[in-house]
Amino acid sequence: GAVVSQHPSWVICKSGTSVKIECRSLDFQATTMFWYRQFPKQSLMLMATSNEGSKATYEQGVEKDKFLINHASLTLSTLTVTSAHPEDSSFYICSARWRLAGGTNTGELFFGEGSRLTVL
């Protein structure tokens, strides 16, 4: 089956530094990728929707200057947490959708394994 790879799987950084997380679709082209964050014992919260070649669409309350998303190719999207602070510590997960012909959104959704960010 399709695989979505995230890297790194975990990262520890100092407060004030920036961290980049990569999301790659390994065997299919993903026209749309999604970024989520998940706090302990809670469900996924959509942060932004990333479409190849265009600007990401951010959910209400998510700072676009804080969480920079780039979807430069059909197989790669990146999330950069800029000037990270301890409150940004979370589990970040991406997903990629293989869009079906005709434009319907019933294409399967594949999730990455997640990246755990700890900001000291």
Longest dimension (CA), the chain: 47
CB of residue 29 to another protein, shortest distance in Å? 15
Query: Is residue 51 a contact residue for another protein (CB under 8 A)?
Result: yes
Among positions 64-103, residues that touch another protein (CB under 8 A) are 91, 93, 95, 97
- Contact between residue 51 and residue 62 where contact means Cβ atoms under 8 Å apart: no
Rounded to whole angstroms, how far apart are CA atoms 49 and 94?
A: 10
As beta bridge partners, residue 65 has none
Among positions 21-50, residues that touch another protein (CB under 8 A) are 32, 34, 41-46, 49
What the block records as the tokens of 119 is 């900001």
Stretch that binds another protein, among 12-20, 70-78, 82-90, 111-119 (CB under 8 A): 111-119
Q: Say which residue the tokens 């979807």 belong to.
A: 71
Residues that bind another protein (CB under 8 A): 4, 6, 32, 34, 41-46, 49, 51, 57, 59, 91, 93, 95, 97, 104-106, 108-114, 116
